[in-house]
């Protein structure tokens, strides 16, 4: 079974509290790592959970509040000291490249590796990356500064070959047609081998969506369709709804409402206010609306199985 999983590295908002670090998550796809947000101390979490940051090639920063990006320069510095040489791409709001450049300038650091910045658009959906496994898109959120969410989706998968039904002398190019769901034809156009008799339907492509800091925003629902696991901030409980609205954050109940409206399969809530030592009330509040809710807990890996 191929891996498609999310590991939480930080789940606190604003400041570290109650043993919780600031926002960071790692999407793990068959040995590849995609880092989403990089709060202060994220590299410590890599070492704590025995993750090798050398495998990182793509980092996604949702917005320029410190609890989502202040760990970036430290991580880049460590990769430099470890003699990394291959390119790293960082996706984030306008201004992020300047922030990094100023830090490197005044520390007189010239990185050993090339770093490429891609500016995200906080006003419209945007395709950021299409590699051989995933398509990664951003979409606008509504916070106090320009902010985007991210969707990570596997490419369509091939039809599955029923090996025991393959004709004895079938050619490799004919098997390739089966993987596309196509019949193998004779030169006259008649069917030589029918794909339906030799294949099973493809496994479904998996999808993870990350909704960073945002007020309750039903407009994002279309971007979340067919999502297996949705991470949505839930900074406050419903008793703090007025505070959530004032600060452009969401309650656990509102995160669950977005999950319900989107038809996602599972919801993970996080970005907890420092006022909450006990997270159970937030979990229960969300589960009352959307039962398939879990807490973002640091170090835990949530596998999204192939179906």
Q: Where in the sequence numbering do the catalytic residues fall? A: 67
Give me the half-sphere count of Cα atoms (radius 13 Å) on the Cβ side of residue 129. 23
Alpha carbon separation from 137 to 116, 148, 215, 227, 283 (Å, rounded)? 17, 10, 20, 13, 28
Please list, in sequence order, all residues whose beta carbon lies within 8 angstroms of the beta carbon of residue 103, skipping any fewer than 6 positions away: 73, 109
The CA dihedral of 88, 139, 96, 14, to the nearest 10 degrees, is -110
**What gap in Å lies between CA 111 and CA 109, rounded to an integer?**
6
**What gap in Å lies between CA 62 and CA 37, rounded to an integer?**
6
């Amino acid at each position: 079974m191929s891996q498609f999983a999310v590991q939480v590295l930080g789940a606190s908002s604003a400041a570290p509290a109650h043993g919780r670090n600031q926002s960071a998550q790692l999407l793990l796809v068959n040995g590849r790592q995609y880092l989403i947000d990089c709060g202060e101390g994220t590299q410590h979490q890599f070492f704590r959970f025995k993750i090798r940051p050398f495998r990182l090639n793509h980092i996604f920063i949702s917005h320029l509040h410190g609890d989502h990006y202040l760990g970036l320069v430290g991580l880049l510095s460590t990769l430099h000291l470890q003699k990394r040489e291959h390119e790293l791409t960082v996706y984030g709001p306008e201004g992020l490249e300047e922030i990094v450049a100023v830090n490197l300038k005044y520390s007189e650091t010239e990185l050993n590796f090339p770093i490429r910045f891609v500016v995200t658009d906080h006003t419209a959906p945007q395709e950021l990356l299409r590699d051989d496994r995933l398509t990664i898109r951003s979409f606008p959120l509504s916070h106090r500064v320009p902010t985007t969410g991210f969707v990570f989706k596997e490419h369509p998968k091939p039809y599955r070959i029923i090996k025991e039904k393959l004709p004895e002398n079938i050619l490799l190019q004919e098997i390739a047609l089966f993987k596309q769901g196509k019949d193998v034809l004779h030169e006259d156009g008649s069917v030589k081998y029918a794909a339906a008799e030799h294949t099973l339907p493809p496994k479904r492509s998996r999808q993870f969506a990350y909704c960073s800091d945002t007020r309750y925003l039903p407009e994002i629902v279309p971007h979340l369709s067919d999502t297996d696991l949705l991470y949505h901030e839930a900074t406050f409980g419903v008793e703090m709804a007025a505070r959530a609205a004032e600060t452009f954050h969401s309650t656990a109940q509102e995160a669950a409402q977005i999950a319900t409206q989107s038809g996602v399969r599972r919801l993970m809530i996080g970005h907890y206010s420092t006022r909450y030592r006990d997270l159970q009330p937030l979990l229960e509040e969300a589960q009352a609306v959307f039962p398939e809710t879990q807490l973002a807990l640091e170090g835990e890996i949530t596998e999204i199985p192939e179906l």
